[in-house]
Amino acid sequence: MGGTEGGRVLDEAAVAGDPLDQVRRWLADAVAAGVLQPDAMALATATPDGRPSARMVLVKGVDQRGLVFYTNRDSAKGRELAANPRAAAILHWQQLQRQVRVTGGVERLSEQDSAAYFATRPRGSQLAAWASHQSQVVASRGALEDRFAEMEQRFTGEEVPLPPWWGGYRLEAEVVECWQGRPNRLHDRLRWTRQGATWRLERLAP
């Protein structure tokens, strides 16, 4: 990654005491700057024997405990999280020369919380959640589209309910690192480590 834009710096005296507050600030900055898909997040999971995998998801909330996202629980990532409920995530905003890394345990959100979010999704996305057995082999594109048409027919004239295999997760932040690009590759890296109810803040060499 390169340098910095607009003289942005990451200084211990100016950052939030709670790193999740800092993540919210930076996410808001990315939205205000018109960054394409500012909520895109790389999520890495692993099997119990240490085989890693990663994919892009959308972060749908940042609270005082961590980052919230939603997915099919029977997908590859859902199965991995069921067996090994730990993950790492990266948010990257190239336009702002900023990156956030978060690691920690992962917990499932309640069905009530998952249903509340599912109700806000576009109807097409709701139907797709029913139609797609995510990460499983599908015979053809046509078979997938036929399944979608079946779901359209099934739920004609009614609200699409939450699929029993679909829901939310929270990556509970244990370590958060914010990275700000600076000239000459002397980038700013600040790392917060959770210590009970407080956080320890340290600067890392770039």
* Active-site annotation, residues: 185
3-state secondary structure of 15: coil
Q: Can you tell me whether residue 192 is helix, strand or coil?
A: strand
**Could you give phi then psi for residue 188, rounded to 5 degrees?**
-90, 130
Residue 33 in tokens: 């700057």
Tokens 């607009």 belong to 6
**Pairwise CA distance, residues 33 & 28, whole Å:** 9
What is the chain's length? Answer: 206
Beta bridge partners of 199: 194
CA–CA separation, 17 and 26 (whole Å): 14
Mapped onto helix, strand or coil, the DSSP state of residue 85 is coil
